[in-house]
Amino acid sequence: MVGVLCELDFANDPEQRVLFAQLVSEGVDRPVECRRRTMRVDFLHITRDALTQPGGVDALVSAVQLLCGDQAAETVLLTLVPPVLPAGVFDDSTEHRVREALAEFGEADTRRLRDLTARWTGLQPAWDRPAPELFDALLDHAAQPDGVPPAVVLLECAARVHPGTASLLRLACDEWAEKQGSTEALAARRAEMSDSQTDPSVPKCLVVMVEPADDGSGELHVRHWINDVAGLWAPRQGECETVTQDRLHRAVGRALAEGDTLWARTPDSDHEIPAFVEFVLPFELLNLDMAALDVAEGGAAPLPLGLAYGVHLRSLERMRHASARQMRLWRERWRVAHSGDIAQRLIWRQQDAGQAGWLARLRAENRIAVIELRGAAVEGQALPALREAVYEGIGVALWDRRDTWPAETGATIRQLLSHAIRQLPYQVYRERIAAAADADGAGQLGRHIAVLWDDPFRLVDRDTLHDHDEEGILA
């Protein structure tokens, strides 16, 4: 129920959640509290308060109907009062054939099957099981709002994961649909799933969110997410740590060890870089050299992070609080950046500081998808321009972190951007490797480059506020 409510149009607005709680309160004639924390926590308490009272189902449905209309209310009603699953989804011989087919799934296939099934059913059973046991675990679940049982959805997912068994598994689903009179429902579900194909731009990825503690201690709250299968954005959230800045590399190292363990179990992606490590930082920290972090553990020789992974920066403020307008601009410019061979870019120079013309040009030209900053991302230099660019939807930016901007930096950045923008992470990775391999490379851009690579289609932590009282809450 919480998952369904989080998808409603008003869910991101705390004031609207308060209004929703008031409407539910009127329906059950008892106080229903909205705690104004995270979206999920608010809906969790509202739902619990409502469903423990007589008439709670009707109150929730009525409140949704008032705020979002009849279709949303029907979805809520079907979630709260699902149709009863007919006895025996499959006959015994079909179940036996399906289990034999699923037994062919290796560990990587099973992990992919688990992720897809979780995505398309919204269920999270104990997934640390072989594929046949995942199937068994879903056999007793009631059909979903469209009438398709989760066990059938799992077989549809399995057919996408393992082409060698696809025809047998889809035949079992077809037989179920014909027997139950649900051919149209199955066809609609297949069409929906086929419209969401694997995206080759989604990498194996560690996302590390770093946020200064708002208590004057100088400590940092560090969260992380691991996307373990390339092609599908389904990141797993890890634990939150609070560390001092001089111990940030240790927290990142522990998260990276988790990622390496997961990535070793899954096939390599099509990316030249094995995995991305992305740091979601507030503006005040964006100029830190995250690619230089030494995360070596044990007896391993020190190795800067950027020599082993593609290291990029992302905006904490935008990830957390992008408005509808900002989200639209962000996605539009990202699509522009990836639609052609060479992305249009706008250069910021020191003489543009405080001038309205640079920002006006950025706002007027929605084909600009990349910015080049000729200055460090600090106050008094390029940071105000970067902040404005982020607010205007720019997702790709490059700059030299040094206080002075060497002339050769421009030539190197032009070379990096002479390729299709999708190749930029790999080109920057190569630039860092080349600079590290050169004994005289201390002045090369590869040792000082910073890259904002902020993908609006790979989000984390979208509903977490600046409230660290409940660290166990999933984003």
41-86 confidence digits (pLDDT tens): 888 888 888 887 778 888 899 999 998 888 888 888 777 765 544 4
Check residues 118 and 153 and name the one with the higher pLDDT: 153
**Amino acid at site 143:** A
Check residues 329 and 341 and name the one with the higher pLDDT: 329
* Residue tagged 């990587």 (tokens): 108
Q: What is the DSSP letter of 189?
A: H
Provide the pLDDT for residue 196. 60
Write out pLDDT tens, residues 259-290. Answer: 988 887 665 554 556 789 999 999 999 999 99
Provide the pLDDT for residue 470. 35
Q: Is the pLDDT of residue 138 over 60?
A: yes
Exposure on the CB side of residue 333, measured as CA atoms within 13 A = 30
Q: Is the pLDDT of residue 87 over 70?
A: no
Find, among 276, 241, 232, the residue nearest to 256 by Cα.
276
β-bridge pairing 236-237 and 220-227: antiparallel
Distances (CA, A) of 35 to 15, 21, 48, 108, 341: 11, 10, 13, 41, 48
Provide the pLDDT for residue 362. 94
383-388 LR contacts (CB < 8 Å, sep 24+): 383/283, 383/286, 383/287, 384/353, 385/348, 385/352, 385/353, 385/358, 385/359, 386/283, 386/286, 386/452, 387/283, 388/359, 388/362
Which pair of structure tokens corresponds to residue 196? 């969401």
Write out pLDDT tens, residues 378-407. Answer: 999 999 999 999 999 999 999 999 988 888
Provide the pLDDT for residue 475. 31
Mean confidence (pLDDT) of the chain = 85
Which pair of structure tokens corresponds to residue 273? 């870089």
Q: Is the pLDDT of residue 368 over 90?
A: yes
Q: Is the pLDDT of residue 344 over 80?
A: yes
**Average confidence (pLDDT) over 315-332:** 91
Exposure on the CB side of residue 401, measured as CA atoms within 13 A = 18
Report the predicted TM-score, pTM, of the whole model to 2 decimal places. Answer: 0.63
- Contact criterion met (CB below 8 Å) for 88 and 29: no
Categorize the per-residue pLDDT at 124 as very low, low, confident or very high, splitting at 50, 70 and 90: low
Q: Is the pLDDT of residue 13 over 70?
A: yes
Extents of the domains making up the chain: 2-80, 92-194, 205-453
* Rounded distance between C-alpha atoms, residue 333 and residue 395, angstroms: 7
Q: Is the pLDDT of residue 245 over 70?
A: yes
**Average confidence (pLDDT) over 243-250:** 92
β-bridge pairing 276-281 and 310-315: parallel
Find, among 236, 245, 242, the residue nearest to 222 by Cα.
242
Categorize the per-residue pLDDT at 313 as very low, low, confident or very high, splitting at 50, 70 and 90: very high
* Rounded distance between C-alpha atoms, residue 358 and residue 394, angstroms: 14
* Rounded distance between C-alpha atoms, residue 34 and residue 439, angstroms: 60
Write out pLDDT tens, residues 170-203. Answer: 999 999 998 888 899 899 888 888 766 667 778 8
C-beta atoms surrounding 262 within 10 Å: 17
Q: Is the dihedral of CA 89, 94, 95, 99 positive or negative?
A: negative
Provide the pLDDT for residue 14. 86
Provide the pLDDT for residue 241. 93
Q: Is 69 helix (H, G, I), strand (E, B) or coil?
A: coil
Residue 230's DSSP bridge partners are none
Categorize the per-residue pLDDT at 363 as very low, low, confident or very high, splitting at 50, 70 and 90: very high
Check residues 315 and 146 and name the one with the higher pLDDT: 315
Provide the pLDDT for residue 154. 93
Q: H or E segment at 397?
A: strand 396-400
β-bridge pairing 220-227 and 205-212: antiparallel
Instruction: Give percent of the chain above pLDDT 90.
Output: 40
